Structure 1
Amino acid sequence: MAGVGFALTRGTAISGIDLDDCRDAATGELQEWARIAVELAGTYCEASPSGTGLRFFVKGVVDVCKVDAAHVELYAEGRYLTVTGRHVEGTPAEINEAPRLIAYLRERAEQFQAATRAAVERARDAEQKRQAKAAERGQRVAPAPSPLARPAPSTGDKDPFWRNVNDRAMADLAAWVPALLSDAKPAARGGYRVTSRNLVRDLEEDLSITPQGIVDWGTHDMGDPQSGKRTPIDLVMEHGGAATSQDAALWLCDRLGVEPEAIGFRGRRGEHPARSADLAGRWFEGEPAQKPAASADRTMALHKGLMVPTGRDRLEITKALAPAPDFPVASLPPVMRGAIEAIREHVQAPLSLCAHSVLSAAALVTQGCANVQMPGLPVAKPLSLFMLAIAVSGERKSACDDMALKAVAEKEAALRAQNTAEMVDYKAARAAFDAQRKKIETEKNLSFEERKAKLLLLKEPQEPLAPVIRSKEANLEGLFGLLNVGQPGIGIFTSEGGQFLGGHGMSEDAKTRTITGLSELWDSGSAQRVRAKERIFLEGRRLSISLAAQPKIASALLGDELAKDQGFVGRFLVTMPESTIGTREIRETNVNGDGRLAAFYRQCRRVMSVPPNLRDGTLNELAPPTIHLSEEAKAVWRALAQTLEEGCAPGGQWLPVRSGALKMAENAARIAAILTLFEDPDAIGHHTRATAGEITGEAMAAAAEVAMFYLKEALRITGHSVLDPETQALSETLEWLKSKYGAGNLFIPSMIQQFAPAHLRSGAEKIRERVLKLCDFGALEPVDKAVIGGKPRKEAYRIVGEDA
């Protein structure tokens, strides 16, 4: 019955959800993200009237959400929804509440909105660079419209003039494209291509101009209302700075040699800018201004053969980081949550740093208890975590770790005491074994078979395991040696990450071996080392890492191309908390009397007291049981994994941190298992050697929140100047110049090479490059002739004051 439907009002307390363009109308096949939505629904769903979408009806009043780029719409009132009755198989015939569906769709919508916001920010930055570049040329530039906002209508009017101009322009690209975009390169099919770099912007893809159409691939999937499609008039407005579509159309007519009136123009021609074949000056009143001579230009100076800006507005060398996301402490189990709150109260460190220490401690004690099985993977994975906290000295990371790892320290002390006693017995047994073997070897009147049989009867004593659970520094060789003779699960824990990241294991000649070996341990708990006189094969081992490093040291790892290419960086959960230094109160607290910490330590001891499953005949080769995801947990995990996968597509939100995003679903499953086993370690003993209980949907959802916190942190800090060594060198060079010579005074580059701190004393070429960059930031200005130290100088610079 065509037209029958349901009107949404708040009084009915029934809401409607539309998913557009997600279904094949002929086959009914769903796109993956829509299939996940159906799995999470728990309420009635049917095909839309067109057959290309889905419609859900849910109980309750939802908040309105309409994000076209995500193909998601949620309504509670003000809509009339037709009902087709084409019920989607697998969903109930009843209308129910659907909190998981709503949460999943809102998360998807937020990601697309975030991508749009990021694109707008990039467009704004690109416009600022364009303006700055034009200013360096002595040009005045009208602001260009955002590439995500459609310019004034150029094709939608009923007046045929706009269509005629665009059609003529598409038929003769050579007449206007090179004049508009000087960096346009000829491409196939008589078209042109302009790189994003030449457009002075940070988007990934190019601008394509062909007779078949114009597409800005940098914005087509970034929430652009036009999906990246452009007309010639659009391009003249966006990249030529034309204020109106009429200005753009008339300029195109000039380039095409067409009289506007002949193709339908009915406006007033006297108000548009003067016609010019040169758009280098872009659009403004009157003729394009000529660049003034260097001597007359108050903002530029000819220096060492280069036009260098002088007297510029001061720009920030190191832009402030965006606010850090909140760690989802409330989602963690009560014992872990209490420990985090207690450590924060006693140490007064950033909350995420306290949570980081508690989570890494939980990972250390549970990593040998089980493996976690994820959907679609052939083997279960270890629970080990690699974690990195970026914090300045004095942030109290050591204090957080010491407090979180108290039970582990007690366990190590007990192991050392036990090892001392066991070594006495071992040495005696070893001496007896060696003496008996020597006696058999030297005994006369024994045949070969008799001597062999006697030697085989001897049982060689096994040396007690090394009593080490935590190591502060370990190169790969030392680490393999420790895992070979020590505990089956250990951790590299240090608040001085430079000892690890700057040690021999990460030197250029050893880096590849270290990264590969550590990655294998994270992946499977196995590794091997084969040398001429040494063969070590490790199976059933576990290694967690928790490092704290200052930004400069951390940048060496996060920016290392080999570490990124090998996926090593992507395995780390990274946080850079906002500092609490300067806000802390000097006071006494009763750490030993805090019940929250006592409960956490009891839980750590309970987990460590569970006997590990070992492979038969071995002392330290784990054969852990497998913990599985419940059906609800699988649905949550698949939704997370799909969201991360889609976010890594070209233009996706997670593309800058793709390595971490693609491993974050696995990290989330590991965290979910850690939360489950830490909360109820007895569950391990209640099951067979092959299984270790089940992860609930609630635990998986909590782990997903933690994983998304770390992914958002990675996105926030990746590529930021605070982690870029060269940007730091620029900032430190300027600070040194100010402190050494003072604002307003002169210096020459050789002073930096002679007197600056050792790490800033680069070669002459690098120092001059930095000086010119500081000029570009407006922090320095060139002075061609000056007397410094009683000597005339041909090259000198002035340190610009704060009020310049």
Structure 2
Amino acid sequence: MTNSTPLHVVRPQPVDNPQDAPPHNIEAEQCVLGAVMLSPAALAEVRPLLDATDFYRPAHARIWETVCALADRGASADPLAVGAAIGVRNLAKIGGAPYLHTLISQVPAAANAAYWAHMVRDLAYARTVAETGTRLVQLAGAADGDPAELRARVAAEVAAVTGADRRGWPDPTPLSSVPDLPAFPVGCLPDWAAEQAACVADLTQTPVDLAGGLALAALAVAAGGNVTVNAGAWCEPTNLFLVMVLPPGNRKSEVYKAMTAPIRAAERTLADLASPRIAEAVIARKLAEGKAEHAERAALDHPDDPTFVVDASEARLTLEKTRVPAEPRLFGGNDSTTEKVTSRLAEQNGRYAVLAPEGGKLFSIAGGRYSGNVDIGVFLSGHAGEEIRTERMTRTGETIDAATLTLGVCLQPGVLAGLGDTPEFREQGLLGRLLIAMPESLLGRRNARPDPIPPHVTATYERTLTALVLSLRPFGDPDATPATLTFTGEAQDAVIDLLEATEPRFRPGVGDLAHMTDWGGKLVGAVVRFAALLHLGEHLRDGYGRPIDLATFHRAVQLGEYFTAHAQAAYDAIGADPAVNHARTVLEWARRTATTRFTARDLMRGPLKGRARKVTDTEPPLRVLETHGWIRRLPAPPSVRGGQPATAYETHPDLAEDPS
């Protein structure tokens, strides 16, 4: 037997009628046994697929059991060891020692053992079906007139032969399952913020991820637009886009009130401080308006005197330069829209935030739910600290030299999943900017008698955060240049190390971020932003004058790891990974059509028609299904002239019960 000779069914003799022999293939059994005696690796590969009852020849079953027993003891399973274990008397019954060596000589390549093992297993199943048919005939002949009992016995026989054969199959993982995600590393926050977040989470019986994420958002409100951080080859602003995902009933509003109270207090203080300046500006504006009107009337009365025209022009220019500053506003809430956010950024010198326990409206409007037009420019520029120019039909356009927007919003799981329904969110880069947390809800496990928050914890948090916001806010100076933070030498080296460690994660088919490079490409930048915020929170008085140290950067890396794990789960929930979407399509097709085996070309003609134009396009979804345990690659048959056949896959026996 050679590689170019396909296996054929051998009908053992003697039989009265060769056509009556049960399905079997002696050569396939011989090749399996020879391969497992030659190669321990072959035994490890095929053992989950077979047991002794799958062999047609009893002698082959005896050899298989002996090989497995030797392997279980850690002993060699070569022909000499197998013969010695069987014993001289029993060995003669199976053809003697020469037959064991014949089995080895039958093997063209041990690497093909899995192919022959599948053939042996499939033929064994065919024999079981034939035996079941015989028993059904016997049941029909022995029926005593009780149809209910007959039906029950027939159903039992049929169930036995149609039940799932799970040998060699692991338990599959539903494609929609959310893995165990890490809890928010609240200990990475500055002590005063960490204690408040932990206590608020305990009092409200909510995941600490919500309060911890809002603590980060609060730091970003204080620093965003006022501080940048130099990472060596590039600079990052210090604003963040934080999205926490929780279902209704999780007391999100209470957490928001507690964690944003200092920002509200700082906003009131800024408003009080700005009141005299605003009042002066209002008077100056009115005076300028009066002078401009008077000068224009004089110019109209003396059209031939250029002096009056010059005076009118100067008065009009003075009026244009005399602006009334807006009342300080640090953030908006649930009613924020993209247009409102843009206008607020313009009037607040490019510094604004949206902190809302229900942020779905903001994303719905941005996605064009009501207007039909996707409008996410303010998010893209506002995340990067870029210039924004808006054109208005009814009033003067707005120019924002450096827009820095912070988001700290909560979404319901259904809203998160719906983000994938707007392709522009990913294509234009919005999804890649979101730091998403998907904590497990505590509903059903909440303590009705939590401990109150110690007064000194809340007092310290409110006093510290309020002071931080006020100290970083360039009050009265819209043209103030943001301060720039740097890293120590060790921390700067750690930034480069993180860049090097992250890069391989983008490799197609290998890296865990290969399907979400839009998000992963901003991971190191996010960590740099975290480091700056933690640094400012730790060094309230002299943060500007000292570089970010290595310990602070390591805590920022922990936050990055947390958000990476949650982003991967979020992308799965959003359906942002095309491979996962296509894998779900294939899984549903196989379940609906009861498909047990298929090739890549079957997918191109079936469920992925129009989506996969070449065989390589099917590889990502096939890889997802393999790693989740829903399909497995069938071993290729020994090569024959004319090239290799298409790779085939078989589906999990439990596919009909797919919970995903």
Same fold (TM over 0.5): yes
Equivalent of residue 665 in structure 1, options 524, 529, 541? 524
Shift in Å at residue 471 of structure 1? Answer: 1.3
Residue 387 (1) aligns with residue 242 (2): yes
Whose strand proportion is higher, 1 or 2?
1
Residue 367 (1) aligns with residue 224 (2): yes
Distance between the aligned counterparts of 2:575 and 2:155, measured in 1?
32
Shift in Å at residue 451 of structure 1? Answer: 2.8
Structure 2 match to 1:574: 436
Contact 2:222 2:472 in 1 (8 A): no
Distance between the aligned counterparts of 1:491 and 1:426, measured in 2?
25
Distance between the aligned counterparts of 2:124 and 2:446, measured in 1?
57
Contact 2:527 2:557 in 1 (8 A): yes
Structure 2 match to 1:354: 211
Normalised TM-score (structure 1): 0.51
Shift in Å at residue 660 of structure 1? Answer: 2.1
- Post-superposition Cα deviations, 1:585-629, rounded to whole Å, max 9, x if no partner, equal 3347655x5222222222212222226459xxx954552121111
Shift in Å at residue 560 of structure 1? Answer: 4.4
1:338 to 1:562, Cα distance in 2 relative to 1, 3 A: same
Shift in Å at residue 777 of structure 1? Answer: 3.7
AA in 2 matched with 1:561: P
- Post-superposition Cα deviations, 1:304-331, rounded to whole Å, max 9, x if no partner, equal xxxxx99999999886532221322223
- Post-superposition Cα deviations, 1:368-394, rounded to whole Å, max 9, x if no partner, equal 3311111322xx221110011111112
Shift in Å at residue 698 of structure 1? Answer: 1.0
Shift in Å at residue 280 of structure 1? Answer: 8.0
Shift in Å at residue 482 of structure 1? Answer: 1.6
Distance between the aligned counterparts of 1:288 and 1:415, measured in 2?
85
AA in 2 matched with 1:658: T
1:695 to 1:423, Cα distance in 2 relative to 1, 3 A: closer
Residue 399 (1) aligns with residue 247 (2): no
Equivalent of residue 705 in structure 1, options 558, 562, 579? 558
Contact 1:315 1:777 in 2 (8 A): no
AA in 2 matched with 1:440: A
Residue 414 (1) aligns with residue 269 (2): yes
Q: What is the DSSP-based 3-state SS (H/G/I as helix, E as strand, rest coil) of the residue aligned with 1:326?
A: coil
Structure 1 match to 2:425: 563
Q: What is the DSSP-based 3-state SS (H/G/I as helix, E as strand, rest coil) of the residue aligned with 2:572?
A: coil
Structure 1 match to 2:491: 633
1:282 to 1:418, Cα distance in 2 relative to 1, 3 A: same
Structure 1 match to 2:568: 715
Distance between the aligned counterparts of 1:283 and 1:505, measured in 2?
53
- Post-superposition Cα deviations, 1:32-70, rounded to whole Å, max 9, x if no partner, equal xxxxxxxxxxxxxxxxxxxxxxxxxxxxxxxxxxxxxxx
Contact 1:612 1:622 in 2 (8 A): no
Contact 2:236 2:528 in 1 (8 A): no
Distance between the aligned counterparts of 2:271 and 2:393, measured in 1?
33
Residue 595 (1) aligns with residue 456 (2): yes
Distance between the aligned counterparts of 1:506 and 1:623, measured in 2?
35
Q: What is the DSSP-based 3-state SS (H/G/I as helix, E as strand, rest coil) of the residue aligned with 1:502?
A: helix
Shift in Å at residue 522 of structure 1? Answer: 0.8
Q: What is the DSSP-based 3-state SS (H/G/I as helix, E as strand, rest coil) of the residue aligned with 2:236?
A: coil
Shift in Å at residue 518 of structure 1? Answer: 0.8
Contact 1:525 1:542 in 2 (8 A): yes
Equivalent of residue 187 in structure 2, options 312, 330, 334? 330
Distance between the aligned counterparts of 2:281 and 2:416, measured in 1?
43
AA in 2 matched with 1:438: E
Distance between the aligned counterparts of 2:418 and 2:324, measured in 1?
39
AA in 1 matched with 2:231: M
Of the structure 1 ranges 456-465 and 663-672, higher mean CA displacement relative to structure 2 is found in: 456-465
Distance between the aligned counterparts of 1:284 and 1:312, measured in 2?
14
Shift in Å at residue 567 of structure 1? Answer: 2.6
Residue 645 (1) aligns with residue 506 (2): no
AA in 2 matched with 1:501: F
Distance between the aligned counterparts of 2:127 and 2:371, measured in 1?
57
1:775 to 1:288, Cα distance in 2 relative to 1, 3 A: closer
Structure 2 match to 1:545: 407
Contact 1:465 1:485 in 2 (8 A): yes
Distance between the aligned counterparts of 2:441 and 2:513, measured in 1?
26
Structure 2 match to 1:696: 549
Shift in Å at residue 677 of structure 1? Answer: 1.4
In the alignment, structure 2 segments of 5+ residues that lack a partner are: 10-38, 61-97, 134-150, 585-653
Shift in Å at residue 566 of structure 1? Answer: 2.6
Distance between the aligned counterparts of 2:573 and 2:43, measured in 1?
31
Distance between the aligned counterparts of 2:574 and 2:442, measured in 1?
21
Distance between the aligned counterparts of 2:345 and 2:327, measured in 1?
9
AA in 2 matched with 1:671: F
Q: What is the DSSP-based 3-state SS (H/G/I as helix, E as strand, rest coil) of the residue aligned with 2:339?
A: helix
Distance between the aligned counterparts of 1:235 and 1:717, measured in 2?
40
Shift in Å at residue 409 of structure 1? Answer: 0.9
Q: What is the DSSP-based 3-state SS (H/G/I as helix, E as strand, rest coil) of the residue aligned with 2:329?
A: coil
- Post-superposition Cα deviations, 1:164-185, rounded to whole Å, max 9, x if no partner, equal x8xx64xx5xx769x9xxxxxx
- Post-superposition Cα deviations, 1:107-144, rounded to whole Å, max 9, x if no partner, equal xxxxxxxxxxxxxxxxxxxxxxxxxxxxxxxxxxxxxx
Of the structure 1 ranges 331-340 and 452-461, higher mean CA displacement relative to structure 2 is found in: 452-461
State the Cα RMSD in Å: 4.8
Number of corresponding residues? 473
Q: What is the DSSP-based 3-state SS (H/G/I as helix, E as strand, rest coil) of the residue aligned with 1:322?
A: coil
1:548 to 1:441, Cα distance in 2 relative to 1, 3 A: same
Whose helix proportion is higher, 1 or 2?
2
Contact 2:330 2:353 in 1 (8 A): yes
- Post-superposition Cα deviations, 1:247-274, rounded to whole Å, max 9, x if no partner, equal 9xx9xxxxxxxxxx99x8544989x9xx
- Post-superposition Cα deviations, 1:384-420, rounded to whole Å, max 9, x if no partner, equal 1001111111222222221111111112233455666
Shift in Å at residue 364 of structure 1? Answer: 1.1
Structure 1 match to 2:465: 604
Of the structure 1 ranges 517-526 and 698-707, higher mean CA displacement relative to structure 2 is found in: 517-526
Of the structure 1 ranges 524-533 and 546-555, higher mean CA displacement relative to structure 2 is found in: 524-533
Contact 1:552 1:725 in 2 (8 A): no
Q: What is the DSSP-based 3-state SS (H/G/I as helix, E as strand, rest coil) of the residue aligned with 1:713?
A: helix
Structure 1 match to 2:535: 676
Percentage identity across aligned positions? Answer: 16
Shift in Å at residue 511 of structure 1? Answer: 5.7
Shift in Å at residue 484 of structure 1? Answer: 1.3
Q: What is the DSSP-based 3-state SS (H/G/I as helix, E as strand, rest coil) of the residue aligned with 1:682?
A: coil
AA in 1 matched with 2:469: M
Shift in Å at residue 459 of structure 1? Answer: 3.1
- Post-superposition Cα deviations, 1:335-363, rounded to whole Å, max 9, x if no partner, equal 22222222223222112222111111111
In the alignment, structure 1 segments of 5+ residues that lack a partner are: 1-164, 180-230, 251-260, 302-308, 688-692, 729-773, 780-804
Structure 1 match to 2:124: 285
- Post-superposition Cα deviations, 1:555-590, rounded to whole Å, max 9, x if no partner, equal 122564332233321211111111222332334765
Q: In the TM superposition, what are the counterparts of 1:209-248 in structure 2 within 5 Å?
A: none
1:726 to 1:449, Cα distance in 2 relative to 1, 3 A: farther
Of the structure 1 ranges 567-576 and 718-727, higher mean CA displacement relative to structure 2 is found in: 718-727
Contact 1:311 1:778 in 2 (8 A): no
1:524 to 1:241, Cα distance in 2 relative to 1, 3 A: same
Residue 440 (1) aligns with residue 295 (2): yes
